[in-house]
């Protein structure tokens, strides 16, 4: 009886429920594509080790840096331009393969340690725990995180500058500080990026996957770097 004379609450309720279903679908597709993206990442890392690409990048750090930035940014732009089609998914998987290829340089160093395999497994487990914690936190945080997102972006830009500078300075203390700060920044980015999907600010699962993948990648790489410094066994 009340719905007949006052249909608006029911209509708004249906719209809200539909929006929630849409957001959950985006998040579900994001997590699925994120899991799939780990496969080409592993394949890319294996290819870098098997073909000698890792050793080439170690011997040619300048060229390796240009290849990394050129390939990464070029593929990210292509993904965003095609994020509404199957081509976007293919480009994303190609991007994750490329990032695995770039990671092979670090992996070759870590695998040269006596406990290298254990360190990689520990870094993977630590990254998974951090992601689980940040994703869970994103579901309970209700405040607007746009201000935090801007602060984190500035921090990420400063990290890139510090990372490039340390390629020439080779300061161990700066490398340690860089990794610690990077883990903190990209862990927070995980929460922000998941929250953006839940809030409806990101409605494209390909773009969402790209953002969260980069968060995971950076946390894993920097966590592995720290572990290799403080817990690495003597070289084989």
Instruction: Domain of residue 93: give its range.
Output: 20-230
Does residue 220 contact residue 45 with C-beta atoms inside 8 Å?
A: no
Does residue 79 contact residue 91 with C-beta atoms inside 8 Å?
A: yes
What are the angstrom distances between the C-alpha of 192 and each of 115, 187, 226?
34, 9, 24
Token representation of residue 103: 């990671």
* CA–CA distance, 227 with 120 (Å, rounded to integer): 9
pTM over 0.85: yes
DSSP 104: H
DSSP 113: B
Count of alpha carbons within 13 Å of 30, Cβ hemisphere only?
25
Q: Please report how the helices 146-169 and 61-81 are oriented relative to each other, as an axis angle in degrees rounded to 10.
A: 160
| Residue 85 within any structural domain of the chain | yes
- The pLDDT, as a whole number, for residue 19 is 64
Q: Name which of 196, 184, 185 is nearest 138 in CA terms.
A: 196
- Our count of domains for the chain comes to 1
96 contact partners, CB below 8 Å, separation of at least 6: 37, 38, 40, 41, 44, 213
| Residue 182 within any structural domain of the chain | yes
| Residue 168 within any structural domain of the chain | yes
| Residue 155 within any structural domain of the chain | yes
| Residue 67 within any structural domain of the chain | yes
Does residue 89 contact residue 213 with C-beta atoms inside 8 Å?
A: no
Chunked in runs of 10, what are the mean pLDDT values of the chain (236 residues)?
53 60 88 96 96 91 89 95 95 97 95 93 96 92 77 85 74 84 94 90 93 96 93 70
| Residue 175 within any structural domain of the chain | yes
- The pLDDT, as a whole number, for residue 9 is 55
Instruction: Count how many residues are written for the chain.
Output: 236
| Residue 2 within any structural domain of the chain | no
| Residue 153 within any structural domain of the chain | yes
First-to-last CA distance in the chain?
A: 79
């Amino acid at each position: 009886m009340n719905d007949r004379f006052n249909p608006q609450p029911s209509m708004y309720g249906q719209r809200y429920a539909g929006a929630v279903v849409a957001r959950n679908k985006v998040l579900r597709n994001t997590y699925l594509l994120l899991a799939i993206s780990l496969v080409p990442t592993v394949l890319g890392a294996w290819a870098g080790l098997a073909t000698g690409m890792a050793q080439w990048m170690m011997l040619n750090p300048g060229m390796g840096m240009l290849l990394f930035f050129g390939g990464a940014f070029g593929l990210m732009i292509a993904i965003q331009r095609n994020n509404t089609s199957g081509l976007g998914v293919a480009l994303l998987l190609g991007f994750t393969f490329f990032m695995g290829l770039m990671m092979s340089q670090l992996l070759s160093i870590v695998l040269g340690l006596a406990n290298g395999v254990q360190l990689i497994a520990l870094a993977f487990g630590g990254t998974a725990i951090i992601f689980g914690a940040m994703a869970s936190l994103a579901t309970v945080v209700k405040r607007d995180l746009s201000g935090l997102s801007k602060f984190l972006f500035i921090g990420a830009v400063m990290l890139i500058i510090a990372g490039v500078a340390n390629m020439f300075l080779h300061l161990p203390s700066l490398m340690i500080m860089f990794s610690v700060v990077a883990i903190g920044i990209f862990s927070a980015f995980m929460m922000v990026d998941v929250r953006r999907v839940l809030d409806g600010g990101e409605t494209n699962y390909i773009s969402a996957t790209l953002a969260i993948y980069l968060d995971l990648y950076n946390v894993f790489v920097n966590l592995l770097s720290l572990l290799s410094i403080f817990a690495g066994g003597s070289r084989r």
